[in-house]
Amino acid sequence: MLEKKVAIVTGAASGIGLKIAESFAKAHVQVIMADINEERLEKESQRIGAYYFKTDLSKKEDCKSLVDYALGKFSKVDILVNVAGIQTVSPIEDFPEDKWDFMISLMLTAPFLLTKYVWNSMKEQNWGRIINLNSIHGLVASKYKSAYVSAKHGLGGLTKTAALEGGAHGITVNSICPSYVRTPLVDNQIEDQAKSHGISAEKVIHEIMLEKAAVKKLIDPSNIAEVTKFLCSDAAACISGSMMSMDGGWTAS
Supply the residues annotated as catalytic.
Answer: 148
Amino acid at 88: T
110-125 and 60-74 helices, crossing angle to 10°:
30
Q: Which residues of 100-139 are buried (b: 16+ CB within 10 A; e: fewer)?
A: bebbbbbbbbbbbbbbebbbebbbeeebbbbbbbbbbbbb
Beta-bridge partner residues of 99:
none
Separation of alpha carbons 76 and 72, rounded Å: 8
Tell how far CA 22 is from the center of its chain: 14
N residues, the chain = 253
Residue 28 backbone phi and psi in degrees, to 5: 65, 30
2 and 28 in contact (C-beta within 8 Å)? yes
